Chain A
């Protein structure tokens, strides 16, 4: 029988992990909510963010937190480029996003994802790891690694800042307006292309910063294949919280983080991941708008 300390420790780890999960899913959530298309290559940009943190650590000795800022700046550029390469042709001039657009963008980004994964496996034969260990903090008798605390809080920070940005600034409101009703947003003087491109860029910035945070949890090292695990986790989180609901990432992320952590205490780790992935199917079937109202 597990004593209360172990249960609390497990919950704390799970919540901290859930914050990071929320951060990596948040970019997908924003892009999905605003442009109504799903980036099937999402996991590969998480992977690129993780490699970004690795190289910045290798070159300048930066820790994942500082590296995430540079990753975010890179992600902004990559996201805008991605918008014009993959989404603009399909979204331009549309006032309603139909199934045909969804199909084309899903298939094209799925192709992109697998191309990136395989360029990655060509470039990196072995997992790489970065050293970042700021020590442990003792909280009420249990020892929590500080690295996990820092990235967890930084992830929470990303979500809070993005919420403030989306609700308190002109650009944020324009992005939300575009996501709600393209025609009305245009009538209010919003430039649809600029708003969609910037939203995609911000989504990518958060995704790649989340990838940098994730490196703290990648005990087996960074490999080009990590996207194949964390993309489905992101999909599950966004579906759980409801696409376009910005607090949904946090609720979904913490749910999945705790679920994975608790499940691992009872079943082999493989089954814990399988269960977390398959969790999306009953949610989609029963509450496709997410568990939040």
Chain B
């Protein structure tokens, strides 16, 4: 009798066990975040939203920079575009904020199609520069466009909706983590790995490199845009400063610290970057970018694999369960 009653979950249980410790730990953390939501005190709840926004950005830049090695210095352009899409949609078209988030994701993805179609053919420093100029140009464009607040931004009055924000960003983050995990294994994972190591060789063995890069970039832009929209919703407004390169550095810092192209790294990086953010911001506003900048210099020069990459390098046994 017991057999019949438990039989249904055995295949599912076996599948869960086969996921490996990294995916299991991330799944437990995400389920815990969802389950703990209603009982968290408001102060922690608000911090948890900010943490999930940061983590979504980290996984977003990980999709392109971490997985393919194309350094997207201008990733913040998607964040700002998503924020402005939500701001404009909510103010002018009276959209619900949730629809604004969808709009932000859509605009982020569309912008990524446009930028990616031209710039993904470039490599190394050329790609970095081509992406670096986009948020700077976007900053000037939104500062001079009356419909977008003419430099004063679009403040919004949406009320206190942290519950909806919490589960929106949770859903985005969970989808992105699942996508990242899925994109690191199987044929797709091997294809991306080959692309990162040697693009010409990957092309030679029959991987459709341009398509793969563009898909990753568009997904990355879409998630960054949607999370940027949630951020605008969270701070009740969107301003030209959203295009600040500091956000780009913060995003890069999270994956550099955690480990580029890994499944666990961006989450670790988000935790490590957010904790000083909460404290340093109160003591000294400039302290955070200075600390992040110095940390990025040291890790990029001395521990290029970040936390996860360095552990995997020096502890061979860890390679089986740390992804």
Interface residues of A (CB under 8 A from B): 32, 37-38, 40, 86, 89-90, 99-100, 102-104, 106-108, 110-119, 121-122, 228-229, 232, 235-236, 239, 268-271, 273-275, 277-278, 280-282, 284-285, 288
A118 and B125 within 8 A (CB) = no
Q: B121 CB to closest chain A CB, in angstroms? A: 7
In Å, the complex CA distance between A110 and B72 comes to: 12
Not counting A236-B133, A278-B137, a sample of 12 additional A-B residue pairs whose C-beta atoms are within 8 angstroms of each other reads: A38-B128, A100-B304, A103-B124, A104-B300, A106-B124, A107-B296, A117-B289, A118-B289, A229-B136, A239-B129, A277-B136, A288-B126
Task: Flag whether B245 is at the interface (Cβ < 8 A).
Answer: yes
Q: B259 CB to closest chain A CB, in angstroms? A: 14
Q: A247 CB to closest chain B CB, in angstroms? A: 20
Closest to A109 in B: B297
A114 and B132 within 8 A (CB) = no
Task: Flag whether B184 is at the interface (Cβ < 8 A).
Answer: no
Q: A64 CB to closest chain B CB, in angstroms? A: 26
Chain A residues within an 8 Å CB radius of B252: 107, 110
Quick one: which of A90, A112, A275 contacts B293, CB cutoff 8 A? A112
A271 and B129 within 8 A (CB) = no
B140 and A280 within 8 A (CB) = no
Q: Which of A38, A90, A103, A110 has the most C-beta atoms of chain B within 10 angstroms of its own C-beta?
A: A110
Q: Which of B121, B137, B246, B296 has the most C-beta atoms of chain A within 10 angstroms of its own C-beta?
A: B137
B122 and A271 within 8 A (CB) = no
Q: Which of A102, A107, A268, A280 has the most C-beta atoms of chain B within 10 angstroms of its own C-beta?
A: A107
Interface SS of B by simple majority? helix
Task: Flag whether B123 is at the interface (Cβ < 8 A).
Answer: yes
A108 and B289 within 8 A (CB) = no
Q: B276 CB to closest chain A CB, in angstroms? A: 13
Chain B residues within an 8 Å CB radius of A288: 122, 126
A118 and B69 within 8 A (CB) = no
Q: B269 CB to closest chain A CB, in angstroms? A: 13
Interface residues of B (CB under 8 A from A): 69, 71, 73, 115, 118-119, 121-126, 128-130, 132-134, 136-138, 140-141, 143-144, 245-246, 249, 252-253, 256, 284, 286, 289-290, 292-297, 300-301, 304
Chain B residues within an 8 Å CB radius of A116: 293
If the complex has contacts A38-B129, A280-B129, are A114 and B293 also in contact, measured as CB distance less than 8 A? yes
Chain A residues within an 8 Å CB radius of B123: 99
In Å, the complex CA distance between A274 and B249 comes to: 21
B297 and A115 within 8 A (CB) = yes
A37 and B144 within 8 A (CB) = no
B125 and A102 within 8 A (CB) = yes
Q: Which of A111, A114, A271 has the most C-beta atoms of chain B within 10 angstroms of its own C-beta?
A: A111
Chain A residues within an 8 Å CB radius of B284: 122
